[in-house]
Amino acid sequence: MTSWCSTLALTPEQRLEVLDLFNRTEIELAREAIDEGRRRTVVHRGIGEHWLDLNGDHVRGYALLTPGEPASVEMCGGGVDEQLLHAILARHQSVDWWTRGAYQPLGGTVVRTLQLLRVALPIALDHPTALSGAVRTFEPDRDAAAWLAQNNAAFADHPEQGAWTERQLDERLREPWFDPSGFFLLDLDGRLAASCWTKVHELHPDRFGEIYVVAVHPDFRGRGLGRMMVLHGLDALRRKGVTSATLFVDESNTAARALYASLGFVLERSDSLIRFSAD
């Protein structure tokens, strides 16, 4: 029998138990236990509504609800708990709930689907000419403001990626996994035209790579820069010794999916965002 309760601030003991739960779940499932941003909320004591399934003082289940219209929630492990859903809807008129992999329907409406794609490395890399610009690596003190402007312009209509702040970027730059040698920028006509930020999951048993963020400023679209930057990122990952790379893409983004398919990426998993209402 579950016993869900909520708090706006985890105690130090609860925080450590939740992080331990994440780690154990990732070992069991061989994938991430919860979205990276939500894990960061726990690590850095960010803003959110923490839901705990307690057995006495022991945390055996966890979910994080973040504010919004509507609020969004994800459970550790990526499932849906019916009792937790009822408890949340008793406080919130509606909620968007992230599920990972196959979703067992409890009602609700799918409002978004993210695809996790993977490609084996190396691939046959073709390096298009970078026009009159040159690909270089990111320098935080020099490039942070320009990259934020370029990223937010490229993802202006994206629900998570299009409104990053200096604080959000700085948090990621201070993560143990951040490596500026895997963060690439392309300058054209004196402007930041495109970028590709890669990540190596060093602590995962398979040590795989990820195309973390790839973006082309709207003023420079139609020149094949997205493909060029992804190829550059994949080659950099290969040179770091990883044998596969992943990325997430919205199912509705047919142009991006076609690009990734042409590079050999295949579907590994689909995650769904389900909207539930109290009505």
**Per-residue model confidence as pLDDT tens digits over 211-231:** 999 999 999 999 999 999 999
Q: Which domains does the chain have, with CATH numbers?
A: 4-107 (3.40.630), 118-270 (3.40.630.30)
3-state secondary structure 59-95: EEEEEEEECCCCEEEEECCCCCCHHHHHHHHCCCCEE
Q: What is the pLDDT of residues 3-24, one digit of tens each?
A: 899 999 999 999 999 999 999 9
Token pair of 242, please? Answer: 């990883």
**E strand map for the chain:** 4-7, 49-55, 58-66, 71-75, 94-100, 109-120, 134-137, 183-188, 191-200, 209-216, 244-250, 266-277
* Cβ contacts of 223 within 8 Å, gap of 6 or more: 131
User: What pLDDT shows up at residue 148?
Assistant: 96
pLDDT in the model for residue 46: 86
> Does the pLDDT at position 244 exceed 90?
yes
| In the predicted structure, residue 261 carries a pLDDT above the cut 80 | yes
**Contact between residue 194 and residue 220 where contact means Cβ atoms under 8 Å apart:** yes
Q: What are the pLDDT digits (tens) for 33-82?
A: 999 999 999 998 888 999 999 988 889 999 999 998 899 999 999 999 99
Residue 2: pLDDT band with limits 50, 70, 90: low
pLDDT in tens, 78-133: 999 999 999 999 999 999 999 998 666 678 899 999 999 999 999 876 555 555 56
